[in-house]
Amino acid sequence: MTDAGDPTPKPRKLHVKSFGCQMNVYDSQRMADLMAREGYTETARADDADLVILNTCHIREKASDKVYSEIGRLREFKDAAARDGRQMQIAVAGCVAQAEGAEIVRRAPAVDLVVGSQNYHKLPELLARSARKPVVDTEFPVEDRFDALTPPSRRAIRARGVSAFVTVQEGCDKFCAFCVVPYTRGIEVSRPVARIVAEVERLAEAGVRAVTLIGQNVNAYHGAAETGGSATLADLLYRVARIPGIAQLRYTTSHPNDVDETLIAAHRDLPQLMPQLHLPVQSGSDRMLAAMNRKHTREQYLDVIVRLREAQPDIAFTSDFIVGFPGETDKDFADTMSLVDVVQFTTSYTFAYSPRPGTPAASIAEQVPEAAKTERLHALQAKIREREAAFNRQCVNRSFDVLLEKPGKLPGQLVGRSPYLQPVHVMADRSRIGEIVRVHTTGLMVNSLFGDIIAAPPQEAPLALAGAGE
């Protein structure tokens, strides 16, 4: 540690910018916690920071390219700081760091440190070394980096709000033909149940009420159980649900092939488990699913949806879709469009296929022209938006349990989330942040609901969540 032996490290400022998925958000918070111990306080501004960390994403070309434009901007701040006699360090962390390593320092000499997604627990030591010359560390270490991390202070937890992400699983062994994650994050590793429970207990004691268990492939979770042997994600959910104060649970992101009977049962039996599931399917065409190496068919995916709906009729599904995967025809795309109608996803993320270096799909000769990708993307987005708007309209004039999370834009207003993650605005005193209240919704603006806190729920017919064709 740089400041070992120095009881009062001088205050320095840290700016962390997170790109990509929730795993990166979690890692960014852990980096901030670690550097807090070294005397760094967080700042929202990059220009007056002593250390800027870019926690990067490699998933698509656009995401990856952003890193270099960000570094360009930071270099100006760094030069300005140097003119004022102040040193600013720039660190690139996350998945681009893992994938490109030393190439980043070659292309952008302003960078002091490149630290891979598995090594950021060594940040203080690496930063000290980088004072002399740029350092690159992208090895996959043998030690568990989670064990080496600093837990957040109570104040940091409170500042982050009443809902939190907790990484329970990392990496992916699925090797979908388009995806860099197995290369940037490595093989699937699960944290032991006891460690996760300790982390959630700490969060709950500081006021956190909702927890989302996260992992690149979270339902492949198989961590060490507290009583020996290995626990499934469902076992973990039941255990975390017993922690006092934790009222709402979610998990993301799941793979359809790893939805087992225990997880389906958890959706039926566990009241804390929110009726919302992000279950990416990528395509509705069996031919594309095979080419993508998803290892499941359209029917198998639909079967999982049906079984989850039988267990929990209120469950709403969202997905990720890729259009323009190599070899995708109009017919394949039509299958994707029809799947959206069949499942009636409440919303979804859509992406145009982006060839990624080192992945099998990038070298397939039959790439889809950009114009066709864009056209399909727009058509799919229009369909998804239409369904999303219809779902949001259906959610007006109903009642939901809402976790009040933070102040709204108007004075006296708070914002919370519906079980389906829509923002819900109500008039309520700030002291009620962290409470779960019953809200009767009265209006809708774009994707936000508005409503009033009520005492008891009226009798209501169920939401229309299932599609016609299942």
Q: How far is the CB of 176 from ligand SF4 (least distance, A)?
A: 3
Q: Which of 461, 425, 420 lies closest to 440, judged by CA?
A: 425
Q: Which does 23 bind (CB under 5 to 8 A by kind): ligand SAH, ligand F3S, ligand SF4, none?
A: ligand F3S
Q: Where are the alpha helices (DSSP H) in 228-294?
A: 233-241, 261-269, 286-291
Told to check if 53 binds ligand SAH by CB under 6 A, we report no
Using CB under 6 A, which of the segments 105-113, 352-360, 426-434, 437-445 binds ligand SAH? 352-360
CA 24 to each of CA 20, 64, 264: distance values in angstroms, whole numbers, following the listed order? 6, 14, 28
Choose, by CB under 6 A, the member of 185, 209, 255, 309 that binds ligand F3S.
Answer: 185
Interaction between residue 24 and ligand F3S (CB under 6 A) = yes
One of 32, 34, 46, 95 touching ligand F3S (CB under 6 A): 95
- Judged by CB under 6 A, the residue of 165, 345, 351, 400 near ligand SAH is 351
**Residue 96 sits in the site that holds ligand SAH (CB under 6 A):** no
Q: Which does 351 bind (CB under 5 to 8 A by kind): ligand F3S, ligand SF4, ligand SAH, none?
A: ligand SAH
114 binds ligand F3S (CB under 6 A): no
Q: Is 407 helix (H, G, I), strand (E, B) or coil?
A: strand
Which residues lie across from 210 on neighbouring strands? 163, 248
Among 181, 266, 277, 433, interactor with ligand F3S by CB under 6 A = 181
Name which of residues 52 to 91 contact ligand F3S (CB under 6 A): 57-59
Burial grade of 432 (CB within 10 A; 0-12, 13-18, 19 or more): middle
**Residue 241 in tokens:** 């649900």
The 10 Å CB-count burial string (b at 16+, else e) for 278-299 is bbbbbbbbbebbebbebebebe
CA distance 217 to 240: 19
| Residue span 160-179 as binding mask against ligand SAH, x where in contact by CB under 6 A, dash where not | ------------------xx
* Residues β-bridged to residue 170: 189
Of the candidates 155, 179, 333, the residue with the CA atom closest to the CA atom of residue 253:
179
Contacting ligand SF4 within 203-232 (CB under 6 A): 216-217
Q: Which residue is nearest to ligand F3S (CB)?
A: 20
**Could you give the string, one character per residue 280-319, with x where binding to ligand SAH holds by CB under 6 A and - elsewhere?**
x-x-------------------------------------
> Based on the number of CB atoms within 10 Å of its own CB, is 84 exposed (0-12), middle (13-18) or buried (19 or more)?
exposed
Binding residues vs ligand F3S (CB under 6 A):
20-21, 23-24, 57-59, 94-95, 180-181, 184-185, 216
